[in-house]
A and B are shown apart, each in its own frame.
Chain A
Amino acid sequence: MSDTKDENEITYEPVMAADAVGAGEHVPPTVTQKSLNRDILRMLQPPGWLWWTVFLADLAILATGMFALRNEIVYGIGVAGHTRPVMWASYVTNFVFWVGIAHCGTLVSAILFLFRSHFRRAVYRVAEAMTVFGVMTAGLFPIIHLGRPWFPYWLFPYPNQRQIWPNFRSPLEWDVFAVTTYLTVSSVFFLVGIIPDAAAQRDRGPNRFHRLLGHIFSFGWTGANHQWKHFYGAYLYFAAFATPLVLSVHSVVSWDFAMAQVPGWHSTIFAPYFVAGAIFSGVALVINLLIPIRKVFKLEHIVTPDHIEKLSKLVLLTSTIVTYSYLCEFFCAWYGPSSHERDMFVWRFFGHFWWAGWIMATCNSIIPLLLWFKRVRRNMVVLFVLCLFVNVGMWFERFVIIVGSLARTFDPAGWGINYRMSWTEAAILAGSFAWFFMYFLIFIRVLPAFSIAEIKETLPAPMRRKA
């Protein structure tokens, strides 16, 4: 400090030495602690025509999906297009797709927290909400796929009336443990992170309803020093648990396939390949959600092009990992001893489902190459469209792996019979998107969709700097 400086002059020093670790670059100088509260809580104002239009359209799609599900419950699983040998089809594809979508939230909130990557602060709440709603959507599909959706509790670890327990050596039982643990831990992590922001909502919510919700979700938080100490003490361990969890969940999901002998499934690369794919599609969907939110709610100064660009670099990184995995699979099939495996991989791109294979390769490996260009990474319209392609590609990747492999198993007698998606399955798939977006649309209107407290940590804290 200069000696000539006025004693009462306000100077600013970043909280928690954020500048020293590169956080300052993401903090626009116009944002203050007060304006941050105001801007983020402004999202809770009564919704306008745009929100209602989108919400009602969403509910209409959801109703169609529910009608299709009602048909399946009444007439049985036969209304789906499952045909021997393709008995796992769109429902399992949807399950893997939605579990994958759910992975990004934990990556952004937990893994990047452990790496002290400060850009996550502005985007992690949206990603976490996506995780929770993504797992809630994914969890529906094994139940829908059961055919008798009123018996899902048979999967839980308890003995039946003959004292036989579920088979703990089965990857399907591992899945039950992995997915329920993931839903529980990611929901807890999400709700714990909201506590300090819900307190801000309780104190400054636009109306009684929002203040009451803030009161409930803040648990009576006051921001006392002992609360912050234990909050961050616990937050670190939530992140430390969530990180290996996120890696294990999609590994376990991949083992549903890789533990089987089916050509195209039986591969040791599946676990890292699935995890990278999950993060790839999840980050792409976060970008798809953030771009309209920041525009509609006028939050471009909080979620800046820097944040979006960093996320798009993650998309590029995971795209290269996924592409490497595709090439590895092909190489192993070509170099390995199994003629079935070799035949399978040729069939993927030139057989009955050739179009799905090419959609997968184009959307996941070729289109994301555009992200090498900075102008693409910072152009919100192009990036939005590109990320839509990524998600289409990732759905087809799961389709190619699941349906493509089952349609070409060891027995040539089953090769001619190919799966065709029924309208029921298509409606349930559309309904699953509506189910996910219904929660998301409600969430952004009832609780702070951006972390007020964590973004504040990157703002300069006022210092009087006495001589």
Chain B
Amino acid sequence: MITRLVDRLLAPAPQKHPGVMGIFEFVDDATAAVRALRQVGHKDLSVYSPVPHHDLEHALEQGPSLVRWVTFGGAVLGLTGGFSLCIYSVTSYPLVVGGKELISLPPFVVIGYESMILLGALANLVGMLALTRLPQVKSKAPYDPRFSEDRIGIWVPCSGDAAARVEQMLRGQGAEEVKRHA
């Protein structure tokens, strides 16, 4: 029962979207294929690889990740929240200790600083998961276990005649395997 459940979970998802998947061994072949596909208008392709490659990033014209803005928001919230917590606590129940100021900012810096790091890091995590669309139980595009080993995959969503042309292009650029999903 449990083993069947695990097997179902680990099995690849049935493919719903039509497209063509090209599998490459060489980075420069894959980079050339990405450039060629983008030139003919296939801008929404996905590239799978075991490690990130600068060449592929340049070919895909990827900008910097937006995660930094989410992180920044979390850090600002943490910093202000940490100081606010300390100030609120001493003003809500004023208890003078050793004749010191109720709102003593220097010791509150530690709380503000740690809260900034905590919320900034958590926002960073949430931002990363949201932007990478994780967690996901099953991959929406076709996935091949070789992508976590030593192969690069290029997935081009397309159908009909366009799919035939993409298939031909991928083979022409040196794909060692091309699969068509109807």
Q: Quick check: is A103 within 8 A (CB to CB) of the other chain?
A: no
B-chain residues with CB within 8 Å of residue A28 when the two chains form the complex:
none
| A230 x B132 contact (CB < 8 A) | yes
- B65 CB to nearest A CB, Å: 3
- B67 CB to nearest A CB, Å: 5
| B132 x A464 contact (CB < 8 A) | no
Q: Quick check: is B50 within 8 A (CB to CB) of the other chain?
A: yes
| Complex CA distance for A196 and B118, rounded to whole angstroms | 24
Knowing A177-B115, A233-B67 are in contact, say whether A461-B148 is a contact too (CB < 8 A): no
Which chain B residue shows the least CB distance to A221? B134
Selected contact of A181 from candidates B67, B117, B132, CB within 8 Å = B117
A-chain residues with CB within 8 Å of residue B60 when the two chains form the complex:
225
Q: Quick check: is B136 within 8 A (CB to CB) of the other chain?
A: yes
| B121 x A188 contact (CB < 8 A) | yes
B-chain residues with CB within 8 Å of residue A226 when the two chains form the complex:
46, 62, 131-132
Knowing A185-B117, A192-B128, A219-B134 are in contact, say whether A461-B53 is a contact too (CB < 8 A): yes
- A329 CB to nearest B CB, Å: 23
| B121 x A184 contact (CB < 8 A) | yes
Interface residues of B in 14-66 (CB under 8 A from A): 25-29, 32, 46-54, 56-57, 60, 62, 64-66
Knowing A185-B121, A221-B134 are in contact, say whether A212-B6 is a contact too (CB < 8 A): yes
B-chain residues with CB within 8 Å of residue A5 when the two chains form the complex:
none
Which chain B residue shows the least CB distance to A232? B52
Knowing A157-B85, A177-B115, A220-B136 are in contact, say whether A225-B56 is a contact too (CB < 8 A): yes
| B124 x A231 contact (CB < 8 A) | no
B-chain residues with CB within 8 Å of residue A224 when the two chains form the complex:
46-48, 141
| A234 x B71 contact (CB < 8 A) | yes
| Complex CA distance for A245 and B119, rounded to whole angstroms | 12
| A169 x B132 contact (CB < 8 A) | no
| B89 x A159 contact (CB < 8 A) | yes
Knowing A37-B149, A174-B110, A203-B148 are in contact, say whether A234-B89 is a contact too (CB < 8 A): no
| A208 x B51 contact (CB < 8 A) | no
- B22 CB to nearest A CB, Å: 14
Q: Quick check: is A241 within 8 A (CB to CB) of the other chain?
A: yes
Selected contact of B65 from candidates A203, A211, A233, A463, CB within 8 Å = A233
| A453 x B149 contact (CB < 8 A) | no
Q: Quick check: is A16 within 8 A (CB to CB) of the other chain?
A: yes
| A237 x B71 contact (CB < 8 A) | yes
B-chain residues with CB within 8 Å of residue A465 when the two chains form the complex:
28
| A169 x B89 contact (CB < 8 A) | no
Q: Which of B82, B128, B131 lies at the interface centre, i.e. has the most chain A CB atoms within 10 A of its CB?
A: B128
- A160 CB to nearest B CB, Å: 10
- B145 CB to nearest A CB, Å: 4
User: A159-188: contact bitstring with B at CB < 8 Å (1 yes, 0 no)?
Assistant: 100011111110001100110110011001
| A453 x B111 contact (CB < 8 A) | no
Knowing A163-B92, A227-B134 are in contact, say whether A461-B118 is a contact too (CB < 8 A): no
Q: Quick check: is A32 within 8 A (CB to CB) of the other chain?
A: yes
| B46 x A219 contact (CB < 8 A) | no
Interface residues of B in 61-95 (CB under 8 A from A): 62, 64-68, 71, 75, 82, 85-86, 89-90, 92-93, 95
| Complex CA distance for A250 and B31, rounded to whole angstroms | 46
B-chain residues with CB within 8 Å of residue A237 when the two chains form the complex:
67-68, 71, 120-121, 124
Dominant SS among interface residues on chain A:
helix
Which chain A residue shows the least CB distance to B147? A223
A-chain residues with CB within 8 Å of residue B127 when the two chains form the complex:
230, 234
A-chain residues with CB within 8 Å of residue B118 when the two chains form the complex:
177, 180-181, 184-185
A-chain residues with CB within 8 Å of residue B150 when the two chains form the complex:
32-34, 37, 462
- B91 CB to nearest A CB, Å: 10
Which chain B residue shows the least CB distance to A200? B148
| Complex CA distance for A225 and B149, rounded to whole angstroms | 15
Q: Which of B47, B52, B67 lies at the interface centre, i.e. has the most chain A CB atoms within 10 A of its CB?
A: B52
| A228 x B107 contact (CB < 8 A) | no
Q: Which of A17, A222, A227, A466 lies at the interface centre, i.e. has the most chain B CB atoms within 10 A of its CB?
A: A222
| B6 x A169 contact (CB < 8 A) | no
| Complex CA distance for A162 and B27, rounded to whole angstroms | 66
Q: Quick check: is B179 within 8 A (CB to CB) of the other chain?
A: no
Q: Quick check: is B1 within 8 A (CB to CB) of the other chain?
A: no
B-chain residues with CB within 8 Å of residue A244 when the two chains form the complex:
113, 117
| B145 x A230 contact (CB < 8 A) | no
A-chain residues with CB within 8 Å of residue B111 when the two chains form the complex:
168, 173-174, 177
| B6 x A241 contact (CB < 8 A) | no
| Complex CA distance for A200 and B115, rounded to whole angstroms | 35
Selected contact of B93 from candidates A17, A163, A222, A234, CB within 8 Å = A163
10 A-B pairs with least C-beta separation: A233-B65, A203-B145, A234-B128, A220-B136, A165-B89, A33-B150, A219-B135, A228-B52, A230-B131, A177-B114
Give 25 pairs: A residue, B residue, CB < 8 Å, sorted on A.
A10-B26, A16-B51, A17-B54, A159-B92, A168-B85, A168-B89, A168-B107, A168-B111, A177-B114, A184-B118, A185-B121, A188-B122, A189-B121, A192-B128, A195-B134, A200-B148, A222-B147, A223-B147, A228-B52, A229-B65, A230-B67, A233-B131, A245-B117, A252-B110, A464-B26
Known A181-B115, A222-B141, A230-B67; 10 more pairs at CB < 8 Å: A15-B51, A15-B52, A159-B89, A184-B118, A208-B3, A220-B137, A226-B46, A232-B65, A244-B117, A462-B150
